[in-house]
Structure 1
Amino acid sequence: LGMRPPTPAHPTPQYKGRARDFLYAGAEAGVMVLNAGADVMRFAPSLVVEEADIHEGMQRFAQAVGKVVA
């Protein structure tokens, strides 16, 4: 694997200021996400995590986001 810089995600303008809602929804789905302000979520996977686990985490996060925006 190797070095992975933290990857930021910014919500679209209509969800500005709701990063915390996405953070909590991700936590409920078993995904660890960091807030980097009111408008930024940050993903910083372990250096030893498998790619398949990253993909599963992103799928879980996508489902969690879907619940917030529904």
Structure 2
Amino acid sequence: ISPGRPGALARALRTVAGDPILAGRLAEAGHRYVLRHHSHLEAARRFLEIYELCRQVSRAGERGGQSG
């Protein structure tokens, strides 16, 4: 649902609220998504990627005579 469409959001919420099977499937899918994309291991992996990028930028600055 696109932002700024409260009517569409309300319809979608009514649909989910009125369909326990759909609500369960969406809940399970959301749970799997969170486990896959927001686990401690995934957060650590992203942190290390950012750390390595910062290290590379810092080293490039040192080679170029800049502080950083």
Measured against the shorter chain, the TM-score band is 0.3 to 0.5
More helix by proportion, 1 or 2? 2
TM-score, normalising length: structure 1: 0.31
TM-score, normalising length: structure 2: 0.32
Larger Rg: 2
Task: Work out which structure has the larger RCO, using CA pairs closer than 8 Å and 6 or more positions apart in sequence.
Answer: 1
